[in-house]
């Protein structure tokens, strides 16, 4: 990864879900260390001795039925204790549903595009976007996969390496599809910093996200991030698109209506493009409205 870097901070998403706000832990004093040491000595006799799971996927390319995209994602089981601290350490059902939409719209969404995934967790959707383009000599796509959670980033980077294509000789092959992983904590200031230091002041054609809504406090910083990083319409060219998969969950006190209303207030128009009412999963696309896109 030849891009500039931003110093990463220790942050896990439980600070949002349990404390109700965006808190970044930068302290490294002795009391923090003592508390951590005490926790290390606590043993749970009921803890799963093997909390990890390898999730395997095979996606059939619509443009070439004889070729498939095989992806392996390593993370924690959904009921693992670690998931209580960092939701991104496992896979959730909306990510698989978004994959279906990605494959159905492979050519229009991902070919020769700059693609960003937000709240990627283990990285399934971003890795699929990258692998969809890799090996296509006509593609110049570039994929940036992000998460704010520092624990999830460790697993995300491992999954990218696990799914990196290899040549017959076994050497690594980036192909034409470039991929990178970075920490991105949502909000206007952090997104502007990300745009200048990581994205080289180039906004994105496509932004992906799945199962990212679990607290009302993240809605405003989410749309600040989209507004900063999504490409705006210019000189008659259509702007970028934000594709989000949302799954209804009983333990999440945030309705999709709240998210959609905030999108409109932030200057976006939206469209429901895929739905499964029985399972409670929906995929929406968001674009700048004519008024806001002209800013």
Average pLDDT, the chain: 82
In this predicted structure, the answer to whether residue 169 has a pLDDT above a threshold of 90 is no
CB count within 10 Å of CB 42 equals 6
pTM, full prediction: 0.84
Q: Is 57 exposed, middle or buried (0-12, 13-18, 19+ CB in 10 A)?
A: middle
Structure tokens at 243: 């594709």
Task: Give mean pLDDT, residues 265-287.
Answer: 96
CB count within 10 Å of CB 184 equals 25
Task: Give mean pLDDT, residues 58-86.
Answer: 80
Contact 175, 165 (CB under 8 A): yes
In this predicted structure, the answer to whether residue 269 has a pLDDT above a threshold of 50 is yes
Q: Give the CA diameter of the chain.
A: 63
Structure tokens at 156: 């995300």
Structure tokens at 57: 């996927």
In this predicted structure, the answer to whether residue 17 has a pLDDT above a threshold of 60 is no
Contact 241, 287 (CB under 8 A): yes
Contact 263, 256 (CB under 8 A): no
Alpha-carbon dihedral sign for residues 221, 222, 228, 233: negative
Who's near 254: CB < 8 A, 6+ residues apart? 213, 214, 215, 216, 219
CA atoms within 13 A on the CB side of 188: 3
Report which listed range, 28-37, 103-112, 121-130, is most confident: 121-130
């Amino acid at each position: 990864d030849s891009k500039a870097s931003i110093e990463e901070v220790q942050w896990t998403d439980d600070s949002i879900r349990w404390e109700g706000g965006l808190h970044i832990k930068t302290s490294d004093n002795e009391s923090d260390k003592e508390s951590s040491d005490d926790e290390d000595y606590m043993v749970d006799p009921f803890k799963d001795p093997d909390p990890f799971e390898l999730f395997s996927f095979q996606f059939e390319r619509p443009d070439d039925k004889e070729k498939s995209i095989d992806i392996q994602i390593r993370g924690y089981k959904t009921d693992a204790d670690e998931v209580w601290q960092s939701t991104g350490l496992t896979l959730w059902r909306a990510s698989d549903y978004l994959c279906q939409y990605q494959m159905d719209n492979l050519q229009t969404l991902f070919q020769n595009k700059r693609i960003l995934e937000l709240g990627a967790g283990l990285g399934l959707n971003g890795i699929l976007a990258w692998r969809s383009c890799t090996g296509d000599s006509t593609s110049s796509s570039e994929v940036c996969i992000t998460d704010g959670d520092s624990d999830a980033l460790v697993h995300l980077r491992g999954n990218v390496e696990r799914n990196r294509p290899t040549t017959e000789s076994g050497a690594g092959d980036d192909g034409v599809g470039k991929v990178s992983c970075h920490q991105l904590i949502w909000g206007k200031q952090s997104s502007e910093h990300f745009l200048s230091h990581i994205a080289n002041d180039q906004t994105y054609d496509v932004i992906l996200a799945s199962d990212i809504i679990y607290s009302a406090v993240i809605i405003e910083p989410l749309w600040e991030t989209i507004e900063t990083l999504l490409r705006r319409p210019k000189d008659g060219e259509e702007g970028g698109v934000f594709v989000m998969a949302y799954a209804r969950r009983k333990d999440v006190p945030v309705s999709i209506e709240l998210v959609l209303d905030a999108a409109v207030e932030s200057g976006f128009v939206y469209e429901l493009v895929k739905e499964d009412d029985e399972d409670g999963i929906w995929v929406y696309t968001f674009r700048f409205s004519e008024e806001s896109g002209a800013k």
